[in-house]
Amino acid sequence: MDMNIDEKRYRAHLKRLEQYRPLDDDFMRELFRDNIPLSEMVLRIITGINDLKITSQETQFDMKRLLGTRSICLDVFATDSEGRLYNLEIQRSDKGAPAKRARYHSSAMDIEFLNSGDDFEKLPITYVIFITENDILGEDRAIYHFEMRDTETSRPLNDGTHIIYVNAAYNKEDDTSDIARLMHDFRCSKANEMNFDLMAERTKYFKETNEGVRFMCRINEEMCNEARMEGRIEGRMEGRIEGRMEGRMENSIEIANGLIEMGTMNDEDIARLTKLSLEEVQALAKKIKSK
């Protein structure tokens, strides 16, 4: 046990860690952090670019040229050997992955990587990829790939923009394709039940080795400490709190569960901090206590 974390909170962190899946974006970021082979494999499967070679990658990538506009932080940002750019996002909440958000991410990447005076032809090919917990487009497909096309003839505009939605709920037993097997792994909490070794090995490290478990518990503790600190700061910091929490809306339930299990905050403070309703927090608390 990490001596900086008391036993009760440490047990709560272990319980959360046991339930983590690659579909939980805080866990996903650690799986992908500094792990180019994993990113390469996932992007090859999703894009169909079998010879894709990632040359650089960053998690929680802040766009620097959006001063005065809506800020965004990309879950995973990568560049390949052909200069193509990739933004990989996990979206557990349906309302967190509207089409206009994908459009904004695509536009922000254009702004970030076209310098003043550059010809528009220098705009890179971009892929914005949302992996969603539910099938938000409702056609029971594993993947939805969008490009700009002529509405009369379906002729592609070839502007270099791609928006892809990947349905993590896709679960057809007779589908043995790589994308179906990959979505199984994103839903899976146990390394020994995963299909792809790269995903399983990284998951096993964070869940089954002393070093990985201690690291994840520290990450969870830091998140909870940050949340508690932000919850105490009023007035002048309200805008900052809203900005951070909005970027983590899909994590609100996980954060609330962790705080409930620790027992260090009341339901009203947890609701205010996570932006959940008091009724939602009380329902989560009831569910936890019934276990």
The last residue of one of the domains, among 136, 156, 188, is 188
* Long-range Cβ contacts of 225-231 (<8 Å, 24+ apart): 227/255, 227/259, 227/273, 227/274, 228/259, 228/264, 228/265, 228/273, 230/273, 231/265, 231/269, 231/272, 231/273
pLDDT at site 53: 98
Beta strands in 63-112 (DSSP E): 73-80, 85-91
pLDDT at site 289: 73
Q: Pick the range with the lowest mean pLDDT from 105-109, 178-182, 278-282.
A: 278-282
- Which helix (DSSP H) or strand (DSSP E) does residue 129 occupy? strand 126-132
* Whether residue 40 sits in one domain with residue 114: yes
pLDDT at site 160: 97
Question: 286 vs 35, which has greater pLDDT?
Answer: 35
pLDDT at site 226: 67
Q: Pick the range with the lowest mean pLDDT from 21-30, 179-188, 245-254.
A: 245-254
Nearest to 182 by CA among 33, 80, 27, 38: 38
98 occurs within a structural domain: yes
Question: 99 vs 3, which has greater pLDDT?
Answer: 99
Tell me the mean pLDDT in the region 98-106.
95
CB–CB of 40/54 below 8 Å?
A: yes
* Whether residue 51 sits in one domain with residue 11: no
* Whether residue 42 sits in one domain with residue 119: yes
Question: 250 vs 215, which has greater pLDDT?
Answer: 215
283 occurs within a structural domain: yes
* Whether residue 39 sits in one domain with residue 164: yes
The last residue of one of the domains, among 188, 219, 241, is 188
Mean pLDDT (the chain) is: 87
* Whether residue 154 sits in one domain with residue 112: yes
Distance CA 115, CA 138 (A): 39
* Whether residue 215 sits in one domain with residue 184: no
* Whether residue 123 sits in one domain with residue 45: yes
* Whether residue 114 sits in one domain with residue 157: yes
77 occurs within a structural domain: yes
* Whether residue 172 sits in one domain with residue 59: yes
262: domain range? 7-15+210-289
199 occurs within a structural domain: no
16, pLDDT greater than 70: yes
* Whether residue 178 sits in one domain with residue 216: no
* Whether residue 222 sits in one domain with residue 266: yes
Q: Pick the range with the lowest mean pLDDT from 160-169, 212-221, 278-287.
A: 278-287
**Residue pLDDT, tens place only, 114-131:** 998 999 999 999 999 999
- Which helix (DSSP H) or strand (DSSP E) does residue 164 occupy? strand 161-167
* Whether residue 50 sits in one domain with residue 71: yes
How confident is residue 242, by pLDDT bands cut at 50, 70 and 90?
Answer: very low
Tell me the mean pLDDT in the region 162-166.
98
